[in-house]
Chain A
């Protein structure tokens, strides 16, 4: 996957409230499919389907224990996604800081015009 494809997969995976809740649960520590299904009014196959999407996006991986097959959260794609969001924010901050400077210039031009009169 290219970085952009991975970003798309990350955001697509995160666009669902159940999957976000699963990640929030995994942020507390690894859990089996059964443990993950518990708080949701959902069957294990339904949860497994969501987990597959999260795994494909690289957000979730499987732990060592072959019996429980616990899932755990992976930080890197999230960090990349946060970086992307941060970029977006920085673009607008940059735009608006330039606008601040422009407005200062317009204000002083207006004041100069006024004092001449």
Chain B
């Protein structure tokens, strides 16, 4: 059974992704910040690899990620570290080369450890609500939740 991933919208401009990992915080922090480790999991859909992964882990330091798939398509993203408090907190900016997020996003990643497990909470702050809704489709989820709640009521009434 995969461990569940939660996606929530703490404000109009943000999306938060939360996930628990069965490992101590320092190890999870390393897996998020050491290029040789990041390269092994941050790959996206099946068939993609990460030939470029450069991380200069210091405040003001840059990072650069590039992915490639079997068909030769490529995708790139880069950003700058704004705050660092290892192994608990990272704040960085990021921007995809294709800019499908409507401008730069600011990402805050918080690592908390409890009983040997680490919770990672990643909050992505978008430039505008439209950018967030467009990038994540959250406007739709909210609308759909309403529709589904009503459908649930309808089905409950029928049975």
**Residue ranges of A at the interface with B (Cβ–Cβ < 8 Å):** 8, 10-12, 14-16, 19-21, 23-24, 27-28, 78, 81-82, 84-85, 87-104, 106-107, 110
* Among A11, A82, A96, A98, contact of B139 (Cβ-Cβ < 8 Å): A11
**Residue ranges of B at the interface with A (Cβ–Cβ < 8 Å):** 2-3, 5, 7, 17, 19, 21-23, 27-28, 30-31, 37, 40-46, 129-130, 133-134, 136-137, 139-144, 146-147, 150-151, 154
* Residue from B22, B43, B137 having most chain A Cβ neighbours under 10 A: B137
Residues of B within 8 A of A20 (CB): 139-140, 142-143, 146
Residues of B within 8 A of A15 (CB): 129-130, 133-134, 139
Q: Is the interface of A mostly helix, strand, loop or mixed?
A: helix
Residues of A within 8 A of B22 (CB): 100, 103-104
Residues of A within 8 A of B147 (CB): 23-24, 27
Q: Flag if B136 contacts A85 (CB, 8 Å).
A: yes
Residues of B within 8 A of A106 (CB): 23, 27, 30-31, 37
Q: Flag if B136 contacts A88 (CB, 8 Å).
A: yes
The smallest beta-carbon distance between A93 and chain B, in angstroms, is: 6
Q: Flag if A85 contacts B140 (CB, 8 Å).
A: yes
A17–B23 alpha-carbon span in the complex (Å): 41
Write the chain B residue with the least CB distance to A19.
Answer: B143
Q: Flag if A95 contacts B41 (CB, 8 Å).
A: yes
* Residue from B31, B40, B140, B144 having most chain A Cβ neighbours under 10 A: B140
The smallest beta-carbon distance between A114 and chain B, in angstroms, is: 13
Write the chain A residue with the least CB distance to B21.
Answer: A103
Could you jot down 11 A-B contacts, CB within 8 Å?
A11-B137, A14-B140, A27-B151, A85-B141, A91-B45, A95-B42, A98-B41, A99-B31, A100-B22, A106-B30, A106-B31
Write the chain B residue with the least CB distance to A16.
Answer: B139
Q: Flag if A14 contacts B41 (CB, 8 Å).
A: no
A53–B89 alpha-carbon span in the complex (Å): 42
Write the chain B residue with the least CB distance to A29.
Answer: B154
Residues of B within 8 A of A93 (CB): 2, 5
